[in-house]
C-alpha cells in the first residue's frame, strides 16, 4: 500500500512539473501571437514507417457522412501554418526546411461547410493523430464531421507529417494552447463549443491540453 501511494505521489509531482513547464512556455509564447500563413495542400503526406493499412483507412472512411450529392463541393478545405514567432521567419512563405526547423510552427488542416453567411459560428472539433500518422490521415473523418456542420481541425504533432524534421521537442501541448487561442478568435467558430480528442499519442496530448485549458 505504501509503495502504491509513493508511486501515485511521484506521478502527481511529475504531472505538476510538466504542467508548470507548459504554462511557463505558454506565457513566453504569448509575447509572439501566432500568425496564419496559408500554404499549399499536402499531396503526398509523410509517414515515418509505412502508410496506413487498408483496415485503418476503412475505419476513417466509415465515419457517417451526410448523404448529399456533390458533398465535396459543399465543403471548404483550409491548409495553413500557425507561426508562433513571426519575427524569425520569412513572410514570403518560401523558407526552406532548415529555417522552418528553427521556427515554432504548426501545420493545420481544416474542413468546414461552405457558408453563405460568413458570420455564422459553428462548433469545432480538433483531432490529434497517433504515432507514425499525420493530420492527412484524418482527412475522411474531417470531411464527415464537416458534412454535419462542424469545423473539423487536425494538426501534425512534432516529428510527424510536415514536422518530421522539427527540432522543438515537448511543444505539442503548448502548440495546442496556441491553436485554441487562434480558434477562439475565428469569426466562424463558437468559442464555447470547441472539443478536442485524439488517438493514442494524440489522446495524451488532448488530455494535457484540455487539463491545462481547464476544459475537462
Which three three-digit cell numbers place residue 71? 458533398
Q: For the segment 35-84, what is each residue's pLDDT rounded down to a tens digit?
A: 888 888 888 888 878 889 999 999 999 988 888 888 888 999 999 998 86
Quote the CA–CA distance of 50 and 106 in Å, as a whole number.
23
**R_g (Cα) of the chain, nearest Å:** 18
Residue-level pLDDT at 31: 52
pTM of the model: 0.76
Is 104 buried (19+), middle (13-18) or exposed (0-12) by CB count in 10 A?
A: buried
SS3 68: coil
Q: Could you count the other beta carbons within 10 Å of the beta carbon of residue 140? A: 17
Q: For the segment 104-126, what is each residue's pLDDT rounded down to a tens digit?
A: 688 999 999 987 566 789 999 99
How many domains does the chain divide into? Answer: 1
Quick one: DSSP state of residue 69?
Answer: T
- 101: containing domain: 2-212
CATH classification at residue 11: 3.40.50
pLDDT confidence band for 173 (50 / 70 / 90): confident
Amino acid at each position: 500500500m505504501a509503495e502504491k501511494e509513493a508511486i501515485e505521489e511521484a506521478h502527481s509531482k511529475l504531472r505538476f512539473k510538466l504542467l508548470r513547464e507548459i504554462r511557463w512556455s505558454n506565457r513566453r509564447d504569448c509575447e509572439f501571437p501566432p500568425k496564419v500563413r496559408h500554404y499549399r495542400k499536402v499531396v503526398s503526406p509523410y509517414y515515418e514507417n509505412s502508410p496506413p493499412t487498408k483496415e485503418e483507412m476503412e475505419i476513417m472512411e466509415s465515419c457517417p457522412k451526410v448523404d448529399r450529392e456533390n458533398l465535396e463541393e459543399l465543403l471548404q478545405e483550409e491548409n495553413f501554418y500557425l507561426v508562433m514567432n513571426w519575427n524569425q521567419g520569412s513572410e514570403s512563405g518560401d523558407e526552406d526546411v532548415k529555417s522552418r526547423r528553427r521556427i515554432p510552427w504548426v501545420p493545420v488542416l481544416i474542413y468546414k461547410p461552405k457558408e453563405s453567411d460568413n458570420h455564422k459560428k459553428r462548433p469545432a472539433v480538433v483531432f490529434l493523430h497517433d504515432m507514425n500518422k499525420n493530420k492527412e490521415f484524418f482527412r475522411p473523418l474531417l470531411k464527415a464531421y464537416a458534412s454535419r456542420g462542424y469545423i473539423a481541425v487536425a494538426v501534425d504533432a512534432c516529428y510527424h507529417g510536415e514536422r518530421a524534421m522539427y527540432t522543438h521537442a515537448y511543444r505539442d501541448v503548448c502548440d495546442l494552447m496556441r491553436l485554441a487561442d487562434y480558434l477562439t478568435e475565428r469569426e466562424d467558430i463558437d468559442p464555447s463549443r470547441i472539443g478536442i480528442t485524439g488517438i493514442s499519442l494524440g489522446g495524451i496530448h488532448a488530455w494535457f491540453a484540455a487539463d491545462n485549458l481547464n476544459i475537462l
